[in-house]
Amino acid sequence: MLSTLIYRSHICDDVPLKEIEEMVASANKKNELFDVTGILLFNGTHFFQLLEGPEKAVSNIYDRIYEDSRHHNIVELMRDYAPERRFGNLGMELFDLREHDRDSVLRAVLSKGTSTYQLTYDDRALGFLRTFVEATEKETYYEIPLPGHWVFARDDDAAVKTAEVPDESADCRFAFQPVVDPFAREIVALEALIRSPEGGLSEHYLANLPPERLYEVDLSSKAQAFAMAKRLDIGEQTLTVNLLPMSLVMVPNAVERLLQGIQDGGLVPEQIIVEFTEKQVISRLDEFGAAIRQMKAAGISLGIDDFGAGFAGLQLLTRFQPDRIKINRSIISDVHRSGPRQAIVHAIIRCCTSLEIGLTASGVEKPEEWMWLEAAGISTFQGFLFAEPVLNGIPPVAWPDNK
């Protein structure tokens, strides 16, 4: 099947254009061998390449291009399928945008097209091409430092802080994971994640409960989380707990019981964020809304977890505006090299900024993901890059240091 791949990248400072011309000559031969065609645009700082050909061949060539040290900040913009090639003449042709005047440059690029149909603007690939030529999106090209620019170091004297569990007979435990602001070097919140007594993950723990006990156990477990937070002496630190949305609806006096647990743990409602994941369907929205109002009136903040992972996120936002949103790992993962993910994150940031909703990126594992997200305007993060959750304890944070 004929596939199309488009990316953009930034040329490395020390690469002479002559070297690129030589590279193009040999790439041309290689592409021809694999039946891949395309065009490479260069504007003095950035490349924009469109590759067309059999799916596997295009993918293999792109993998090699991605590893090429002559460019960096490589962002894949599009992978799609097409009935015929747009630029089918050569294995690869270099087009230097600087050699043409502003008004005619797009026409000059399009004159290289080989499609029998008119190259129209409603074609996505040509949309990307035009945007690159006209440089209308340039302000969103965040140039992040190369990997290795940052080291993540734990304080020498930082250790895991653990405590005895308050009730050994309880059938759940909690692991705590910090949410951090790396530039301020501040832990902005701790999330209490439910675990089985052996440390089994929350999905398994909840999935193994009999359905008729699920909501009651979910709600009553929060008292354990608050008691554990007390033992860990979290002071005035913000604490996030997760709750199934239906636990608020199905368990009588759910909010009163939450408040009692908070008080017994020596905490105050204002330091608690209750998070609901958007993945869980809320079937009784009116009753859920009433419980939310009661929770908010008592001072507890509302968070939406796993934003972007389910199907209800945007619709949920039309009904309830939470205080905080956590973007799911599925959107965060490799965001620095994915145009679609970057566009989605930009849209979430714009939406949350308009609604004054705080935003956290969760599941951050790579320095490049963190750097791109910081550049885009997110300042709080959660993920293995900074700290892994620790059962019955609080881990130290690995803070980034500029090398």
Closest Cα to residue 53, out of 74, 64, 67, 39?
A: 39
Q: What span, in angstroms and rounded, lies between the C-alpha atoms of 353 and 301? A: 17
Task: Provide the minimum distance between the beta carbon of 310 and ligand FMN in the complex, in angstroms, as a whole number.
Answer: 38
Query: What is the footprint of ligand FMN within residues 86-105 (CB under 6 A)?
Result: 92
Nearer to ligand FMN, 64 or 293 (CB): 64
CA–CA distance, 131 with 139 (Å, rounded to integer): 12
From the CB of 131, what's the least distance to ligand FMN, in Å? Answer: 18
DSSP string, 60-82: HHHHHHHT-TTEEEEEEEEEEE-
**Region from 27-35, 100-108, 258-266, 315-323 binding ligand FMN, contact rule CB under 6 A:** 27-35
Nearest approach, Cβ of residue 62 and ligand FMN (Å) = 8
Strands (E), 71-185: 71-81, 93-96, 150-154, 161-162, 173-181
The piece of 57-65, 105-113, 217-225, 305-313 that touches ligand FMN (CB under 6 A) is 57-65
Number of chain positions touching ligand FMN (CB under 6 A):
15
Write down how long the chain is.
403
Q: Which of 152, 68, 112, 35 is nearest to 386 (CA)?
A: 152
- Distance in Å, CB of 227 to ligand FMN, minimum: 57
| Rounded CA separation 363/381 (Å) | 8
Q: Does 65 participate in binding ligand FMN (rule CB under 6 A)?
A: yes
Interacting span for ligand FMN (CB under 6 A) from 60-68, 105-113, 162-170, 193-201: 60-68
> Which of 315, 176, 317, 167 is closest to 233 using CA atoms?
176
User: Smallest distance from the beta carbon of 123 to ligand FMN, in angstroms?
Assistant: 21
Closest CA to 244 of 186, 208, 200, 288: 288
Among 3, 4, 43, 49, binds ligand FMN (CB under 6 A): 49
Q: Is 56 in the site for ligand FMN (CB under 6 A)?
A: no
Q: How far is the CB of 42 from ligand FMN (least distance, A)?
A: 8
Report DSSP state, residue 395: P
Is residue 311 within 8 Å of residue 280, measured between CB atoms?
Answer: no
Smallest distance, ligand FMN to C-beta of residue 28, A: 8
Q: How far is the CB of 335 from ligand FMN (least distance, A)?
A: 21
Residue 30 interacts with ligand FMN (CB under 6 A): yes or no: yes
Which of 10, 70, 124, 230 is close enough to bind ligand FMN by CB under 6 A?
70
Nearer to ligand FMN, 68 or 216 (CB): 68
C-alpha span between 126 and 120 (Å, rounded): 7
**Contact letters for ligand FMN, residues 2-21 (x by CB under 6 A):** -------x------------
Minimum separation from the CB atom of position 65 to ligand FMN (A) = 4
Among 61, 144, 234, 390, the residue binding ligand FMN under the rule CB under 6 A is 61
31 belongs to the binding site for ligand FMN (CB under 6 A) = yes
Stretch that binds ligand FMN, among 59-67, 238-246, 251-259, 390-398 (CB under 6 A): 59-67
Cβ proximity to ligand FMN: between 8 and 341 the closer is: 8
Q: What amino acid occupies position 299?
A: G
Phi, psi of 9 (to 5 degrees): -155, 175
Of 37 and 240, CB closest to ligand FMN: 37
Least Å distance, CB 186 to ligand FMN, is: 40
Buried b (16+ CB within 10 A) or exposed e, 211-247: eeebbbbbbbbbbbbbbbbeebebeebbbbbbbbbbb
Which residue stretches of 75-210 are H helix?
105-110, 124-134, 202-207
The minimum distance between CB 73 and ligand FMN, in angstroms, equals 12
Report the residue number, 47 or 128, with the smaller CB distance to ligand FMN: 47
Q: What is the DSSP string of 241-295?
A: EE--HHHHHHSTTHHHHHHHHHHHTT--GGGEEEEEETTS--S-HHHHHHHHHHH
Stretch that binds ligand FMN, among 61-69, 165-173, 214-222, 360-368 (CB under 6 A): 61-69
Residues making contact with ligand FMN (CB under 6 A): 9, 23, 27, 30-31, 40, 47, 49, 61, 64-65, 68, 70-71, 92
